[in-house]
């Protein structure tokens, strides 16, 4: 069986940037990064915009979109189905594969491989938050077996991917349970129907620690004795992920005062507008991981506020929009939330005993989620093994 290698530009009909939209109710769906969860789009919740260039920016089944910048830089998502009038945001890049050359699902799996990430990391531009552009994407080298073989490879990987998805879907159900309990106990934090006391963040946060972003390796640390700096992705999805880190270069001295600790409340001060302000609570963490300069540590006043309550409050869908409005930035820069603006933000604070009751419920749910994550880890290892074999030509003959 003969494999060839072609550039992404050679096997694509389109590689282009998305649309800068204005709010509207025209029936045109506007796909953003935040609308894609675990590789799936819930089109029912995707917002509508005004768009006079639907034909130019219209998405179609089989398209693959890439995040241009932010914590998800280089991440790709296959659009398997979409409504007739759907366009994509300007911070996404759309790739429309040539169906005569490549099977979209096969290509989307290639974008999960170390081969892809090695190529994209070397071509990404920018300093603290590198970006991806269409020119560099066109130069990516894609290994191509015949189309029937591409389909067979994709079918096998689909089965392994389904195991990963089941675990992720269960985690989503647990998260929905936490949100339901939060709303039952505290109500909508923006409307504050239960008339909780209104304080400012400075009343419950005694200080905010800033991080540091020195030059690091392009890979995570592999030894408990090594130091590393968290990547923005460690908190982007509102769940602490210590695996999102970059090893500190050996010649660079560490800063123990900004080491992440169990019980920390971490807050992303800088990201794309849809992702800025994400918050994560550290239930546990490996040692020798440091904060980057894009993440704050919120040092809460013990006894006045439960960090688990505050974590869920900041991430509440409605209150999160209030937090995002604090972000500012010049044209072309990433939105940023300053310490000063955050500390002045008002928030509802229920009595401590109700907060603590909620925190105990969340801890019990987190214990169940930990078991699910172990299963996901095993499924992920199986998928990655099959993935690497597939693109070495070892999975099918």
DSSP 240-271: --TTSEEEBPTTSPP-GGGB--TT-EEEE-BS
pLDDT for 279 beyond 60? yes
Q: What is the pLDDT of residue 127?
A: 41
pLDDT for 70 beyond 50? yes
Residues in the chain: 397
Confidence bin at 108 (pLDDT 50/70/90): very high
Environment class of 10 (CB within 10 Å of its CB; exposed 0-12, middle 13-18, buried 19+): middle
- Mean pLDDT throughout 31-57? 84
DSSP 193-259: TT-PEEEEHHHHEEEEE------B-SS---STTS-EEE-THHHHTSS--TTSEEEBPTTSPP-GGGB
DSSP 50: E
CA-to-CA distance for 123 and 118, rounded, in angstroms? 9
Tokens for 58, please give them: 């219209």
Rounded to 5 degrees, what are φ and ψ at 55?
-60, -40
Q: What is the pLDDT of residue 53?
A: 82
Burial string for 190-225 (b: 16+ CB within 10 Å, else e) reads eeeeeebeeeebbbbbeebeebebeebeeebbeeee
pLDDT for 124 beyond 80? no
DSSP 256-320: GGGB--TT-EEEE-BS-TTTTT-EEE-S---SSEE--TTEEEEEE-TTT--HHHHHHHHHSHHHH
Pairing of strands 36-37, 64-67: unpaired
Domains annotated for the chain, with CATH where assigned, are 4-144 (3.90.220.20), 197-349 (3.90.220.20)
Q: What is the pLDDT of residue 177?
A: 96
Pairing of strands 64-67, 92-97: antiparallel
Taking CB atoms within 8 Å and a gap of at least 24, the contacts of 33-39 are 33/67, 33/70, 33/72, 33/89, 33/91, 33/92, 33/272, 33/274, 33/275, 34/274, 34/275, 36/65, 36/77, 37/172, 38/165, 38/168, 38/169, 38/172, 39/77, 39/78, 39/165
Confidence bin at 128 (pLDDT 50/70/90): very low
CA-to-CA distance for 390 and 106, rounded, in angstroms? 10
pLDDT for 1 beyond 70? no
pLDDT for 78 beyond 80? yes
pLDDT for 125 beyond 70? no
Interval 323-369: pLDDT, tens: 999 998 765 568 999 999 999 999 999 999 999 999 999 999 999 99
Confidence bin at 126 (pLDDT 50/70/90): very low
Rounded to a whole number, what is the largest CA-CA distance in the chain? 70
pLDDT for 24 beyond 70? no
pLDDT for 31 beyond 80? yes
Q: What is the pLDDT of residue 129?
A: 44
Question: Considering the chain, what is the average pLDDT of its residues?
Answer: 91
Q: Which helix (H) or strand (E) holds 43?
A: none
Rounded to 5 degrees, what are φ and ψ at 320?
-60, -35
Q: What is the pLDDT of residue 22?
A: 73
- Mean pLDDT throughout 73-88? 90
pLDDT for 292 beyond 90? yes
pLDDT for 249 beyond 50? yes
Pairing of strands 86-88, 22-31: parallel
- Mean pLDDT throughout 136-143? 93
Q: Rounded to whole angstroms, what are the CA distances from 390 to 104, 119, 180, 230?
A: 15, 18, 42, 31
Q: What is the pLDDT of residue 106?
A: 97
CA-to-CA distance for 388 and 364, rounded, in angstroms? 37
CA-to-CA distance for 182 and 179, rounded, in angstroms? 5
């Amino acid at each position: 069986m003969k494999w060839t290698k072609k550039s992404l530009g050679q096997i694509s009909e389109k590689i282009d940037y998305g649309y800068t939209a204005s709010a509207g109710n025209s029936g045109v769906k506007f796909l953003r990064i935040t609308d894609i969860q675990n590789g799936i789009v819930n089109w029912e919740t995707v917002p509508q915009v005004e768009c006079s260039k639907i034909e130019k920016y219209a998405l179609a089944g089989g398209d693959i979109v890439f995040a241009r910048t932010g914590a998800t830089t280089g991440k790709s998502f296959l659009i398997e189905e979409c409504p007739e009038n759907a366009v994509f945001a300007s911070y996404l890049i759309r790739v429309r594969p040539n169906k005569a050359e490549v099977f979209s699902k096969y290509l989307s799996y290639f974008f999960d491989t170390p081969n892809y990430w090695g190529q994209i990391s070397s071509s990404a531009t920018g300093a603290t938050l590198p970006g991806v552009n269409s020119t560099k994407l066109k130069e990516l080298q894609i290994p191509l077996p015949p189309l029937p073989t591409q389909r067979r490879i994709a079918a096998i990987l689909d089965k392994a991917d389904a195991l990963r998805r089941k675990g992720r879907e269960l985690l989503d159900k647990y998260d929905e349970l936490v949100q339901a309990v939060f709303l039952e106990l505290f109500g909508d934090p923006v409307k504050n129907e239960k008339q909780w006391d209104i304080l400012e963040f400075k009343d419950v946060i005694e200080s905010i620690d800033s991080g540091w972003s020195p030059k690091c390796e392009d890979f995570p640390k592999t030894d408990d004795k090594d130091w590393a700096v968290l990547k923005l992705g460690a908190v982007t999805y509102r769940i602490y992920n210590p695996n999102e880190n970059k090893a500190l270069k050996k010649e660079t001295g560490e800063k123990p005062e900004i080491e992440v600790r169990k019980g920390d409340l971490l807050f992303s001060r800088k990201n794309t507008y849809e992702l800025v302000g994400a918050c994560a609570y550290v239930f546990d963490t490996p040692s020798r991981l440091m904060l980057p300069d894009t993440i704050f540590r919120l040092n809460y006043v013990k006894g006045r506020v439960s960090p688990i309550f505050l974590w869920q409050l900041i991430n509440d869908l409605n209150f999160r929009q209030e937090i995002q409005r604090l972000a500012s930035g010049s044209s072309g820069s990433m939105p940023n939330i300053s310490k000063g603006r955050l500390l002045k933000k008002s928030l509802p604070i229920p009595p401590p005993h109700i907060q603590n009751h909620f925190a105990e419920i969340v801890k019990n749910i987190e214990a169940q989620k930990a078991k699910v994550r172990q299963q996901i880890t095993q499924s992920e290892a199986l998928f990655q093994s099959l993935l690497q074999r597939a693109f070495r030509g070892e999975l099918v003959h």
